[in-house]
Structure 1
């Protein structure tokens, strides 16, 4: 299945931020495990979808599917001195609402990554087949 996302023609704002190491490391662990080179991360608490690839993480609102609201780009993990150090990146807003979205996004994105990681490790629960005896 292929998904298509649209990037608006102009940026509203671009700034440099840092991402906690736990989030960056978990996201890249999931990327390495991906067979397609990208990972879809549903952020159900916000009704957003994150799409991760090696170059960037994009975030799409369920209300406007396919339209990128904001992106995290240009990660610099090589500038860290330890794996526990945060990673700098460029935060790009494509919509005025992105600033409000970012207020919750880092915490909710991390929770969604953890949930996705746990599901990939444990897999789906085994199916149970129940037999119903007919009463005559």
Structure 2
């Protein structure tokens, strides 16, 4: 189990990098801007670099949750489907986290219509889930 830690951390970083690239190019394809690093920094009143660090730390924490909680308890054998399922779980947990954070802190307004934001969030988290799971390989 200890030997899995570096692979899980790497998977979280890679999943977050790919998801972030999609977030950065999404506005150029007609999708709303999705920049959780700005949202986190703005809500907490910290520099943007802290928002970036928090964004990547959450990706790593989600990958650890996948490796130690999700993967051992989900019987899906196809890694693509397992990644999609994990991406949906990550999306739901992220939305719960945002709602809780919004109850405690003043959140900056988000761009775009709600349906387009939901599509963008779904695409981002599905990509995160698949990249993370395929990197871990189980």
TM-score after normalising by structure 1: 0.31
Q: Determine which structure has the larger helix proportion and give its number.
A: 2
Higher relative contact order (CA 8 A, sep 6+): 2
Computing the radius of gyration over CA atoms, which structure comes out larger, 1 or 2?
1
TM-score scaled by structure 2? 0.31
